[in-house]
Amino acid sequence: MATAMVTSKGQITIPARVRAELGLTAGDRVEFVEMGQGQFAIVASTRSVKELKGLFRGRRSKPVSIEEMNAAIARRAAESR
């Protein structure tokens, strides 16, 4: 298991083994994807979107229609006012 320490400025150094596995080099960006309560995955944002396939498997059992998406957006917009 690779570990890192958080500095007083909230920064971390990603361990060399993890950087190598993710194919990260200086200047690359990473994304922190929430997997569950208190759990995140680090994803290199320089990779192809195709590599994200299956990352959210099991989160929703059926496809969402455009109408359902629009309804959810409208509900959240109404709640934020």
Query: pLDDT tens across 12-61, in order?
Result: 999 999 999 888 888 888 988 888 888 898 888 875 667 677 776 666 66
Alpha carbons 80 and 78: distance in angstroms, whole number: 6
- Domain spans of the chain, in order of start: 16-79
Confidence (pLDDT) at 61: 67
Confidence (pLDDT) at 44: 83
Confidence (pLDDT) at 63: 80
